[in-house]
A and B are shown apart, each in its own frame.
Chain A
């Protein structure tokens, strides 16, 4: 069936490029608007993608990798201008300067695209099947029944169960991984010669990510599709990439075979990036004294969300059940799990941002689970939080100093004292104390996270709760913040509850790790034990899914 349809869909432009590359980018420069922080988003970047090859573009945020993908698809924002002398050739055909109509013909038929967030890339009011079908309506002359047959076949090829049901499902009715499969089906149904994938697995859980990566590899291998895969994750590169190109601030630093670049990076920046990727094996850590006082203990903690409705009765969602954990002074406990596993719920329960349904939470021996909100002032001081999103955890309208001194002044410190303390804390988190008068938007993500840590430390807490505190940061910055947290914890003898979805991060910073799945702790052991000898099948599947696990990255010696 597929073969007779292919005649309709293969492009009329025969490949006449002598080099045989699907995509050939030469001296691509893209200017940024005048008042931006640098002149060019992308400067003199050249690379080729051969048929059946996966080229990974790697770089930290702001490196210009997405700008390159948009320029290839002809979707650049108007403010960004492709400079003279740049060339993007698809099978020998120049795309720079092509008309919008022509680009519309090329997209989907010859260049397929997958984006990061499958929920926003799909139209919520159309069924998945209709959306794939739309591609065929626009670009082929097939009859309705032929199209339906082809769409169903494609849904099966991306390994979605029950193709007919999937065809009639709306995007919100299926999971994130399934949505991304629908996106892939849509991108590949016309058998494009090039697939541009812009961080397609970043928003997904690690096990789903592994499946999607596997699917992309399988489909492009069968069809000899060239893939330009944009990512910030070296694990994904190790897993998928044939070749890798490293970008920094819009300049191409290094390009070569994945294995070579990952093992023997030439450029200092690449070396630094790769050495920042946290290692999967936990480092040797000093044992926590067994007589160290227990700071936090949860006993059979339960959090239920009851949705009551007078028409349909009560519905309860159990976010966390029977969670029993303990943290000693100077210890870091990690809670690891995928989204929806209940790890953040536990963090919010022990900080009493939400009330506990059942069980006990002991902070230095006092049960805080039943303390009414108005008597929580003392508890608030002892437990402090660092949040995931450094852009939202500081009030944009208040200066950094005002944010830091807010807490101590609530507890009666004088203004002068609090500001003096804030200056000391800025130095502790290695920021310039003069930055206290500035506003959050004047700092980078990593710097803001340091400020959040300083704000938490200003309260002189006993327990620091870090909820995905490094997840939104680039690897090199992530490494610095992790080191800072470790150093502060040692110096102040804090107990730390560290919540993360990233096993590699957990391996680096945690003494003890609790693995959560569907609201339950499925495995609870020392980091060393857990990483060397996982017991529970879920933990094992998490480990297997972690991208680039078996790969030996080049490490600075």
Chain B
């Protein structure tokens, strides 16, 4: 024992010196260097800036009906009156719709609804899914029941659910969010559950059990942190698909009430005159596509940088 403890110490010192482990560059510097995070992030920043900046971008009320300016092409100089009766002209950058409303103003204000739906669906479904998924994954008894229920939820098509909800409680932003959230939850639950299932078998969780850590603390300290990265990634994908789904629902007339400008509503109202005045569908369509693309690019990039484990799975 004694003669070997000398060698023991010498080796230990050596390995302590060799302890300068290579630190990976910080998460932020890696994120910024990732091209799809960079491009997606910048595009989203532009769209998000349209929310507070809407009144600077356009002086017009997106809901103001003006029969004289009906169905004008992009570039038309529309004449408006102030309350005091003064006349002024505004160039309709994206033309006007069949009620004479300025499409550009509607598109700019429509970003609010789209982002609102995307963000709230992502936050709500991720938080509910996280909670249920942690329970289902950690407590095996709950699992069988909860997961069968989730399978049932997953089978509900969100469009039919939205129609049902709208006929029950009337069209509103809230109904649309609920209709999109419900079928999204099971996907989050499945993801969280699968992570929890593998983490609960990790020796460090068993070690925590054997030092007497209460279950709630184990979930919070040891299990929860592992779910954060994949959930951020999953959240961005949910956000993208929710924006798209809101537009589809509005386009079908079962979404947000028609007087509220959303990209889906603008397209829905331009549908009958689409062949003659394509700008009604073209411009909101471009914004919708770019937004969803940007959100998904951001999600892809986040997945590659913060959670390399998942990059091959989904």
Contacts and interface: CB of A to CB of B under 8 A. Distances in A.
B19 A385 contact: no
Interface string B9-39: 1011001101111100000000000000000
A383 B206 CA distance: 13
A392 interface: yes
A406 B213 contact: yes
Interface of B is mostly: helix
A393 B212 contact: no
B268 to A, nearest CB: 48
Given A410-B214, A476-B11, A487-B1, A393 B21 contact: no
Interface stretch (A10-18, A325-333, A394-402): A394-402
B211 A459 contact: yes
Interface residues of B, number: 33
B8 A411 contact: no
Interface string B197-223: 000001110111111111001000110
Contacts, number: 92
Contact of B12 (A37, A393, A480, A486): A480
Interface string B84-98: 000000000000000
A381 B212 contact: yes
A536 to B, nearest CB: 32
Contact of B206 (A35, A353, A483): A353
A555 to B, nearest CB: 11
A388 B204 CA distance: 11
Contacts of A383: 210
A452 B202 CA distance: 14
Interface in B174-206: 202-204, 206
B21 A441 contact: yes
B8 A483 contact: yes
A483 B1 contact: yes
Contact of B208 (A351, A406, A430, A486): A406
Given A395-B222, A476-B11, A353 B209 contact: yes
A398 B213 CA distance: 15
> Taking each of B4, B204, B209, which has the highest tally of chain A beta carbons within 10 Å of its own beta carbon?
B204
Contacts of B167: none
Interface string A429-473: 010100000000111101100001001001100000000000000
A389 B222 CA distance: 17
B59 interface: no
A347 B133 CA distance: 30
A479 B8 CA distance: 9
A268 B222 CA distance: 43
A455 B11 CA distance: 22
Contacts of B221: 395, 398, 406
Contacts of B4: 479, 483
Contacts of B8: 430, 480, 483
A395 B225 CA distance: 10
Nearest to A388: B203
A387 B202 CA distance: 10
Contact of A406 (B19, B211, B225): B211
A380 B15 contact: no
Contact of A411 (B19, B204, B212, B226): B212
A37 B203 contact: no
A359 interface: no
A517 interface: no
A483 to B, nearest CB: 6
Interface residues of A, number: 46
A384 interface: yes
Given A442-B21, A479-B4, A483-B5, A384 B15 contact: no
Nearest to A384: B210
A480 B22 contact: no
A393 B204 contact: yes
B23 to A, nearest CB: 9
B275 interface: no
A548 interface: no
B212 A380 contact: yes
A125 interface: no
Given A447-B15, A487-B1, A351 B203 contact: no
Contacts of A410: 211-214, 217
B18 A385 contact: no
A410 B5 CA distance: 34
B111 to A, nearest CB: 37
A37 B212 contact: no
B7 interface: yes
Contact of A353 (B7, B18, B210, B213): B210
B15 A452 contact: no
B11 A480 contact: yes
Contact of A444 (B15, B203, B226): B15
A452 B207 contact: yes
A272 B7 CA distance: 9
A107 to B, nearest CB: 26
A221 interface: no
A203 to B, nearest CB: 19
A316 interface: no
A165 to B, nearest CB: 35
Contacts of B19: 442-444
Interface of B: 1, 3-5, 7-9, 11-12, 15-16, 18-22, 202-204, 206-214, 217, 221-222, 225-226
10 contacts: A37-B18, A381-B211, A388-B203, A406-B208, A406-B221, A410-B214, A432-B16, A442-B21, A476-B11, A483-B4
Given A380-B212, A397-B225, 5 more contacts: A387-B203, A392-B202, A483-B1, A483-B4, A483-B5
A-B pairs with lowest CB-CB distance, top 7:
A407-B211, A393-B203, A387-B203, A380-B212, A410-B212, A395-B204, A480-B8
